[in-house]
Amino acid sequence: MSNPTVIHSTFQLERNLTASPQRVFQAFADEPTKRRWFFGGTHALEHHQLDFRVGGHERAQMKMGPGTPVAGKTLVNETIYQVIIPPRRIVAAYKMSMDGTPFSASLVTIELLPKGSGTDLIFTHQGAYFENADGPAMRKEGWEKLLSRLEKELGE
């Protein structure tokens, strides 16, 4: 059998947050709030649109920042929301492309479980990575950084 050209991987991240499930949920649902924490990195956000509802789309286009292996290239993230149960669960499918070439497709499940006055956030990522993809380790690292930025947004 020849070597597969797609790498499949699943990882799970957890956070214990002092913010309520409603507040954490809003950080994903509210476009200006999500834009602050999700796209506040070193890349230049050129376009962002969020239609946060089941069947709704989110699209972001960024120019990759200096100091990255792909500086100057255009990254596009296209998301379709599959399941939204306020303030408990978000399930989304997304694909990423670089300069028009898809390099991964993923399913993300975000569970927000009440814990006292706070929230246990359980984030599960199932990904398929194609040729020239960032790969599972880099994707996990990227989501770790995103969730850390979420924590800062929530004042954690």
Q: Do the Cβ atoms of 140 and 115 come closer than 8 Å?
A: no
Looking at residues 69-92, what average pLDDT do you find?
Answer: 96
DSSP H/E element including 44: strand 44-50
Give percent of the chain with pLDDT exceeding 90: 85
pLDDT of residue 65: 87
DSSP H/E element including 28: helix 21-29
Looking at residues 8-14, what average pLDDT do you find?
Answer: 97
Average pLDDT value over all residues in the chain: 94
Looking at residues 117-137, what average pLDDT do you find?
Answer: 93
CA angle 33, 38, 43 (to 5 degrees): 125
Is the pLDDT reported for residue 12 higher than 70? yes
Is the pLDDT reported for residue 106 higher than 90? yes
pLDDT of residue 41: 74
* CATH level 3 topology of 7-42+80-153: Alpha-D-Glucose-1,6-Bisphosphate; Chain A, domain 4 (3.30.530)
Place 1 in a pLDDT band, splitting at 50, 70 and 90.
Answer: low
Instruction: Find how far residue 31's CA is from the centre of its chain.
Output: 14
Place 5 in a pLDDT band, splitting at 50, 70 and 90.
Answer: confident
Give the start-to-end residue ranges of the domains of the chain. Answer: 7-42+80-153
| Total residues belonging to the chain | 156
pTM: 0.93
